[in-house]
Amino acid sequence: MNIRTKKTTTAVRKRPAAAKETIWSKFDILFFVIILGLGIFTAISLRLKYNSQGVALSRETEKIRREIHNLEREVEFLTTQRESLTSWAHIQTRIAQFRLPLQQPKHNQVYSMTVNYEDHGLNRIGMFAHQTADTTTTEAVRGVQ
Amino acid sequence: MLTSNDGVRVRIYIVVAVLLGLFAYVGVRLYFLQVARHDELYEKAKRKYTAVRTKTGKRGEIRDIDGHLLVGNVPVAQLVADPCNVETDIMAEKLALLLKSYFGLDPDETFKDLQRKTRQRKKEDGTEETVKRRYSLLVREVPFEEAAKFEHLLKVNGIRGVTFPEGYRRFYPKDHLMANVLGFLGGGGVETARQDTTRPETGQEKFEADLSGLRLPYGDGSQEHVRDGEHVYLTVSEPIQSIVEEELDKVMEKWKPLTAYAVMADPRTGNIMALAQRPTFNPNDRSKMTGDSWRVRAIEDSFEPGSVMKPMVVAGALDMGLVTPGMTIDCENGTWIYAGRSMRDTHPAKMVSVADIIKHSSNIGTAKIGLLLGKENLDRILRSFGLGSLTGIPLKPETRGQFMPVHKWDGLSITRFPIGYGVGVSPVQMVRAYCALADGGKLRKLRLVDRVEDPETGEIKNMPPEAPVSLYRNPAVANQIVDLMASVTRPDGTAFRAAIPGYEVAGKTGTSRKWVPEEKAYSYRKSYATFAGFVPARNPAFVLVVVVDEPKGSIYGGVVAAPAFKEIATRTLRFLDVKPDPALLPEDTARRSQNTTAAPARPTAPAVPARPATPRPAPQPPVAPTGSAPARPAAEQKKERKFVPLDSNYYRRGYQQDKPGSGR
């Protein structure tokens, strides 16, 4: 036979308070974990996004760099080609080919003057062809200005 | 007795112990991986994701004084296959056929080559092992455009395993122009002389890359400095060089000589303005190049200059006060025997002035001036004009010529050296000496490189000319010798063919017979025909020496070299815009010129100041072919003759070979 009396009041009084605290604290932790998880997820997502963007940009940069490189090589190629085409031997061949009726100017038709301007530190001479005739006097600039 | 709680506890302990053991293992493993073998594994990993690219700069360019490109670099690509990557036979066959149609490669050989997927490699211990063959060079140099087209074609056909490593090929955009002087790597010329400064530097670029080889944006990397070679600017002017070479081609066509050289220099700076020689070669296609065509013979070879030597001897004698232009010398009516050997003149005369000795190129008169000077003075004078020494041109090898020291001279040397026999000079030495004659006796070193440019910084390093050495003690000699040399191109001079209307040309012809070692005699058919001169005589724009070796049809400098000088000089004067002197133009031309020039008065035009009209000598019938040798009938010229002593008694006439005197 159970002779001990049951102290019900205390138990009844304490339990609801403890349960209430636990629920709130658990919710806090849960909230914190969710926030933390969201934060980590966002950070990782952002990192991945930026990484993939970076890689995409890098690909784009590499592509453009490659294009620039190719263009530079093409410019180098064209520069040497231009030098070939401006050689006197080539010009002479073309004059003969097209039978251009060119003749040398007289001494009094040509004069040179020094044009002082900055061109990579070099002063170039601009050649001016000066055509004189009895009725007209015209000037043709035939150089780099 | 164990309760159920105890059982749970034991199981927990076991799990914890296992986990701890695992953690301990992981910890130990981590320690070994991260600490103990860190360096080794880190390097291994790094090698996996680090890409290495070797970059090479460009070799420096060579340009003319105005920046026209003479030697450049043209982008090319190699065509390299990775046989292991050309996976199927069909793909290999396709590739072989494409290579045949584009580059003319034998498809069977290409196919066989692509089928060889392995190769033998020797290990360090000497044994051999079989490894994958990942490299097969199919085409060494593919032009830039073709490589791009071919790459596109491969993509379209879905062929993999072919790469196009980039590079540069040395390119000479002007083909033959100045080929000998520019040379090529390992073949002399400026290319070889300046190869230390034009050589580019190679560097490696390391970066972290993904699987496809793409650079990772956040990866580490390093790059070694890659430097392009320095650009070299020569003193040569491309348009003038073109003129000179074109005219030399005409000489080659007309006179069919063995070789011909022309060297032009600015007497005030020593700048070489043009240096050409024939035969030459095309440096872009050296398959047809012959051994002799690539040497810079104007610098490496010497020749007996003949009468072009005379102005130097006369200038020296004038400077010492031993002779004056009006002083007369007995020229023995054209035949003189000294030291048992005869000497002849083209224009036989008894008493000839020093001025006429130059004008008519008297051998006897010049030899007697040599006797007047004496050995030591003659040696000093000729050496002071740069004979026997290097000219300053930075090309190797350069000859000093043959100029014996005084103690090795024989009895004839004192009479033969003044007329340009017995000494060997290179064309560039002669140009240097004439620069001194043209510029009032100031001897300068010749310059071929004007400046170098650092392509990275754009910094230009000038190479200023060295200070000249003054040769004359008497300043009046400068004008006197120019007067004498200007008379040579007058209608009664030996080089009337070198005269240019509107300009006073000073110069001297030279015809030196070639020594035939087998016969131990000078040949009458083989000669060096030379003309050296400058124009305008009083204010020279340039000095030009033309040397023609063994011309056919005529042997004389006045016939072969003087017209070439005239053509080159006329065109160059036009290019340089050196105005003619109206007083020297023929009357009708001068009148027309005066009428037309009256309208536009241009203060900036660097016209030659008008000179008072100088009385021109009355036109005379042209003299017989010029030069130091007498004119002979054609039939006689063809006959090979030797110089033989007319009188074996050297001193019959009382000449003492070493004693200065009047020569009589």
pLDDT digit string, tens, across residues B569-622: 999 998 888 888 888 887 666 555 555 443 333 333 333 333 333 333 333 333
Whole-Å CA distances, B382 to B329, B373, B414: 21, 11, 12
Does residue B88 sit in helix, strand or coil?
coil
Residues B251, B386, single domain; the answer is yes
Which of the listed residues B173, B188, B208 is the one where a domain comes to its end? Answer: B173
Choose the closest CB to B72 out of A51, A59, A80. A80
Q: How many of the other CB atoms lie within 10 Å of CB of A19?
A: 10
Whole-Å CA distances, B487 to B322, B334, B348, B491, B570: 21, 20, 18, 9, 18
Nearest CA distance, B517 vs chain A (angstrom): 40
Total domain count, chain A: 2
Interface contact flag, B73 A106, Cβ < 8 Å: no
B24 belongs to a structural domain: no
Substitution target from A57, A80, A106 for chain B, most B beta carbons within 10 A: A80
Q: What tokens does B546 get?
A: 């033309």
Q: What contacts B663, CB < 8 A, 6 or more positions away?
A: B329, B330, B367, B368, B371, B372, B655
A6 belongs to a structural domain: no
Residues B506, B615, single domain; the answer is yes
Rounded-to-integer distance, Cα B543 and Cα B534, Å: 4
Residues A70, A58, single domain; the answer is yes
Residues B126, B254, single domain; the answer is no
pLDDT at A110: 76
For the segment B43-62, the average pLDDT, to the nearest whole number, is 85
Residues A57, A126, single domain; the answer is no
Residues A53, A80, single domain; the answer is yes
Total domain count, chain B: 2
Domain with A143, as residue range(s), is 103-145
CB of A52 within 8 Å of a chain B CB? The answer is: no
B358 belongs to a structural domain: yes
Residues B99, B243, single domain; the answer is no
pLDDT tens string B100-143: 888 888 889 989 988 888 888 888 888 888 888 888 898 888 88
Residues A107, A37, single domain; the answer is no
Residues B256, B132, single domain; the answer is no
Interface contact flag, A89 B175, Cβ < 8 Å: yes
Residues of B in contact with A112 (CB under 8 A): 577, 604-606
Choose the closest CB to B171 out of A80, A111, A120. A80
CB of A36 within 8 Å of a chain B CB? The answer is: no
B197 belongs to a structural domain: no
Q: What contacts B588, CB < 8 A, 6 or more positions away?
A: none
pLDDT at B297: 87
Residues A82, A107, single domain; the answer is no
Interface contact flag, B72 A57, Cβ < 8 Å: no
CA nearest neighbour of B120 among B130, B112, B132, B133:
B130
Residues A63, A113, single domain; the answer is no
Whole-Å CA distances, B114 to B109, B134, B156, B518: 9, 10, 20, 60
Exposed, middle or buried, B297 (CB in 10 Å: 0-12/13-18/19+)?
buried
Residues A91, A122, single domain; the answer is no
CB of A58 within 8 Å of a chain B CB? The answer is: yes
B20 belongs to a structural domain: no
Q: In chain B, pLDDT over 70 holds for what percent of residues? A: 87
A1 belongs to a structural domain: no
Residues A57, A96, single domain; the answer is yes
Pairs across A and B, CB distance < 8 A: 101
Interface contact flag, A70 B69, Cβ < 8 Å: no
Q: How many CA atoms, within 13 angstroms, populate the side-chain half-sphere of residue B24? A: 6
pLDDT tens string B167-196: 888 999 998 899 989 988 877 889 988 888
Rounded-to-integer distance, Cα B512 and Cα B514, Å: 6
Select the more confidently predicted residue: B429 or A21.
B429
Interface contact flag, A88 B242, Cβ < 8 Å: yes
Rounded-to-integer distance, Cα B572 and Cα B564, Å: 12
Residues A64, A22, single domain; the answer is yes
Residues of B in contact with A95 (CB under 8 A): none
Nearest CA distance, A95 vs chain B (angstrom): 15
CATH code for the domain of B133: 3.90.1310.10
For residue A57, which phi and psi values (nearest 5 degrees)?
Answer: -65, -40
B325 belongs to a structural domain: yes
Which of the listed residues B138, B173, B208 is the one where a domain comes to its end? Answer: B173
A5 belongs to a structural domain: no
Rounded-to-integer distance, Cα B380 and Cα A56, Å: 79
Choose the closest CB to B606 out of A89, A108, A112. A112
B13 belongs to a structural domain: no
Choose the closest CB to B597 out of A59, A62, A108. A108
pLDDT tens string B19-48: 999 999 999 998 988 888 888 888 888 888
pTM for this predicted structure: 0.76
pLDDT at B120: 86
A140 belongs to a structural domain: yes
pLDDT at B255: 94
- What averages of pLDDT result for each successive group of 10 residues across chain A (145 residues)? 57 55 76 91 92 84 88 90 90 91 80 60 44 35 34
Interface contact flag, B176 A89, Cβ < 8 Å: yes
Substitution target from A52, A64, A74, A111 for chain B, most B beta carbons within 10 A: A111
Nearest CA distance, B29 vs chain A (angstrom): 28
A7 belongs to a structural domain: no
B499 belongs to a structural domain: yes
Residues A56, A85, single domain; the answer is yes
Residues B507, B417, single domain; the answer is yes
Domain with B244, as residue range(s), is 238-281+301-587+607-638
Residues A34, A98, single domain; the answer is yes
A137 belongs to a structural domain: yes
Residues A118, A73, single domain; the answer is no
CATH code for the domain of B490: 3.40.710.10
Does residue B282 sit in helix, strand or coil?
coil
